Amino acid sequence: MKYLLLAVAVLGLIYVVFIDSKKTPNNDERPETIYQREVDKAEAIEGFLQDSVDKRLEEMDELN
């Protein structure tokens, strides 16, 4: 039992030192970054749709 606890402690230490330290705090998968990326996409789509509607209205005005 003592060796099992020692092994778990060593493996936990290895995980913290080597594996967890590879993660950068400025990772692109932070919620703020994901949210801002999605907001930018939505604004771009909104702008595209507004341009499409404006062109369509201009075409309809020219026909009348």
Q: Each residue of 14-44: pLDDT tens digit?
A: 887 777 666 655 556 788 888 999 999 999 9
d(CA 61, CA 54): 11
**Average pLDDT value for the chain:** 84
Q: Each residue of 39-48: pLDDT tens digit?
A: 999 999 999 9
Phi and psi (nearest 5°) for 39? -65, -40
pTM equals 0.49
